[in-house]
Amino acid sequence: MAEPRTRLDPADDLAVRNLVARLAMMADTAPIDALEDYLACFTDEAVWESPTEVRRGIAEVRLGAEERRRAGAQGPGTHGRHVISTQGVWAHGEDRAVSESYFMAVGDTVGTPTPRVVGYYRDELARTPTGWRIAHRHVTFG
């Protein structure tokens, strides 16, 4: 049976969509020594999960972002972009929300843009005193 989907207040819906977009932009533009804006998109206890890794807590989320930058997978100088599309957002209990979206990571944006990977984000979000933050990001490729 499908999970019930209750609409968020329009202002909260927009805030969640903007947070997911901001995170994609920070993945592409935040330098390794200035990840504060990237990390501000997550709760302190956040989980970042993909088929190849699981990061628990903000320190591990930072480590994963640093490793992806060192490997040239994302960040400044990689000429890559994360493109978010087909996004749905709904309430998931009090002060919680879910966002599901498709993404495509594109490389070589200064030459011939080339799709590197497509996938799906399922983000579980929490309302915090400083706004919505991602509590759990589950990345699926394909």
Whether residue 16 is predicted with pLDDT greater than 70 in this model: the reply is yes
pTM for the model: 0.93
**Banded pLDDT at 93 (limits 50, 70, 90):** confident
User: What's the CA gap between 103 and 28, in Å, rounded?
Assistant: 13
DSSP state of 121: E
Q: What is the set of domains in the chain, with CATH numbers?
A: 10-141 (3.10.450.50)
The confidence score (pLDDT) of residue 3 equals: 65
Strand 96-107 relative to strand 81-91: parallel, antiparallel, unpaired? Answer: antiparallel
Sheet with 96-107, strands from edge to edge, namely 54-56, 42-49, 131-141, 114-128, 96-107, 81-91
